[in-house]
């Protein structure tokens, strides 16, 4: 009887620790000044949590004085110790909003999933559109900025 109570208590503590860890993600994300907004999205049974981040990105990474725009990033959280699949979408990433969306590799390897909407597509556009700044270099710098931001959260992988 005593052993079953100890096991039940241990299981309860374990479950509570999992739920507390899951709720840590928004707090960790809010520590970054480049994250403008966090929206909680509906998710499936695979991921524990899902968020739409609105991130401040520079219009031209070589010239910060040119201003910034808001880029959408979808974060599907599986666990802090899991690896992360980083999807560098070439266009609109609206499909990632769906609760059902699981990238093939994330599903196979049981990882977190980050989908970055490409600059100048979907809702990730500057107020004034100047296509001179729609360059491979700026897009790569956008991805690198998101990578560095998420590396602060998912430190082990």
Secondary structure (3-state) at 74: strand
105 lies in some domain: yes
Q: Which domain holds residue 143?
A: 24-151
Higher pLDDT, 8 or 95: 95
Tell me what the mean pLDDT of segment 11-30 comes to. 63
Residue 87 has pLDDT above 80, yes or no: yes
1 lies in some domain: no
Residue 31 has pLDDT above 70, yes or no: yes
49 lies in some domain: yes
84 lies in some domain: yes
108 lies in some domain: yes
CATH of the domain at 117: 3.40.50.1820
How many domains is the chain partitioned into structurally?
Answer: 1
Q: What pLDDT digit, counting tens, does each position of 103-157 carry?
A: 999 999 999 999 999 999 999 999 999 999 999 999 999 999 999 999 999 987 6
pTM: 0.84
Bridging pattern class, strands 84-88 and 112-116: parallel
3 lies in some domain: no
Tell me how many helices (H) and strands (E) the chain has: 3, 5
Please list the helix, strand and coil fractions of the chain in percent, rounded to the nearest 5, in that order.
40, 25, 35
16 lies in some domain: no
34 lies in some domain: yes
């Amino acid at each position: 009887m005593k052993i079953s109570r100890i096991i039940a208590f241990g299981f309860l503590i374990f479950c509570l620790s999992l739920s507390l860890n899951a709720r840590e993600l928004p707090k960790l994300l809010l520590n970054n000044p480049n994250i403008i907004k966090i929206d909680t999205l509906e998710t499936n049974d695979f991921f524990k949590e899902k968020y739409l981040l609105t991130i401040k990105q520079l219009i031209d990474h070589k010239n910060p004085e040119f201003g910034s725009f808001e880029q959408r990033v979808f974060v599907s959280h599986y666990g802090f110790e899991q690896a992360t699949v980083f999807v560098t979408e070439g266009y609109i990433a609206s499909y990632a909003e769906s609760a059902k969306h699981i990238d093939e590799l994330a599903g196979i390897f049981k990882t977190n999933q980050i989908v970055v909407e490409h600059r100048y597509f979907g809702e990730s556009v500057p107020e004034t559109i100047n296509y001179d700044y729609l360059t491979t270099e700026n897009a790569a710098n956008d991805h690198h900025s998101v990578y560095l931001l998420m590396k602060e959260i998912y430190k082990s992988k």
